[in-house]
Amino acid sequence: MAQVGLYFPRLSRLSLNCSGCGTVRWHANIVPISRREFRFKLVQVEWTVYVGVGAVSTGGIVMAIAFLIFNLYNRKLK
């Protein structure tokens, strides 16, 4: 780490030529961006995963309906 400047809050001034201040050196000599960049990337789910999750979901719905029918049919039995 090296000192590259001094900020004086009372004067609202930034000094980059102070004694003992070094020069700014960026990694790979590339100045970082000063704004956010949004990049959209389309990611697709594999067909086998899609079918597998769909099958498990369908099985769960069928089991829930079967248990509901079973409970409604046998609710008077204790």
The whole-number pLDDT of residue 78 equals 66
The whole-number pLDDT of residue 64 equals 98
Helix (H) or strand (E) holding 73: helix 47-73
Give the chain's length. 78
Does 77 have pLDDT greater than 80? no
Which residues make beta-bridge pairs with 56? none
What is the C-alpha to C-alpha distance for residues 52 and 57, in angstroms, rounded to an integer? 9
Rounded to the nearest integer, the mean pLDDT of the chain is: 90
Distant-in-sequence, close-in-space partners of 20: CB < 8 Å, separation ≥ 6: 3
How would residue 37 be classed by pLDDT, with cut points 50, 70 and 90?
confident
